[in-house]
Amino acid sequence: MAFFPHRMGSLEVICGSMFSGKSEELIRRLRLARIAHQRVQVFKPALDTRYGDEELVSHSDFRISARNVRSASEILHVVHDLTDVVGIDEVQFFDDDIVRVATKLANQGKRIVAAGLDQDYRGQPFGPTPRLMAVAEYVTKLLAVCAVCGDPANRSQRLSGGAALVELGASDGYEARCRRHFEPEDDRQLELLAERERALKGPRKAREPLAPSGDLP
Ligand SMILES: [Zn+2]
């Protein structure tokens, strides 16, 4: 494992599909920091209400206390000057401002450990995770096991419908799949998603014809 020089801040990203053990790995690193008498604060987005408000719990029931925050900037307001290590779980649900916040805290000399999904159920980069990976010193990509063939898996296959990119607390509706067995959403689900994106962006101008027709006889 990497050596972390004292007093130099850093950013670590732990990412992967569902069931890849991201939360376990995050909690493991934070517990080690506590054993080393470092001051640790842990955050998660407030929408994650899977197992109560003040704890971070992995699927295999590892636990550490965590504070729910409604925005990335809220973390800046509640991180103590003396805190050595800042843990952030479910980082994909923050907006891109989390990149600024994590960078600012790392620049202050803190060690930031962020865990989250790197891909959504469509196999697309998820939220701010890719940008965090780009600016991090250390990136750990964890693999799950494909539910179909048992090979290493890095995709989250959704088994039931729904509009949310990943429905929290609905891990029953997902399984890990390898590249070969991952089946992207069917056309209707993609259509619904496109409709929702159009509604968010407002009406679009009609497209210009691809080629001018006036030159032709
Ligand atoms: Zn497979």
CATH for 41: 3.40.50.300
Q: Is residue 195 part of a domain?
A: no
Q: How many CB atoms lie within 10 A of CB 167?
A: 15
**Of 17-31, 45-59, 80-94, 101-115, which range is least confident?**
45-59
Ligand 1 centre to CA of 13 (Å) is 25
Q: Residue 152 falls within a domain, yes or no? A: no
Residues 48-82 have pLDDT tens digits of 555 445 777 666 666 788 999 999 999 999 999 99
Residue 127 in any domain: the answer is: yes
Asked which of 76-80, 108-112, 140-144, 208-212 is least confident by mean pLDDT, the reply is 208-212
The domain in which residue 126 lies consists of 10-142
94: Cβ–Cβ under 8 A, 6 or more apart, which residues?
A: 45, 71, 72, 88, 127, 128
Do 87 and 33 form a contact (C-beta atoms < 8 A)? no
Active centre residues (catalytic): 90
pTM to 2 decimal places: 0.78
Question: How many angstroms is it from 184 CA to the middle of ligand 1?
Answer: 14
State how many domains the chain has. 1
Share of the chain above pLDDT 90, in %: 62
Cα 202 to middle of ligand 1, angstroms: 39
Token pair 């803190």: residue: 110
**Cα–Cα dist 190/181, whole Å:** 19
Q: What is the mean pLDDT of residues 14-19?
A: 97
Q: What is the pLDDT of residues 151-175, one digit of tens each?
A: 999 999 988 766 566 555 456 789 9
- Please report whether residue 205 resides in a domain: no
Residue 186 within a domain: no
CA nearest 89: which of 137, 32, 4, 29? 29
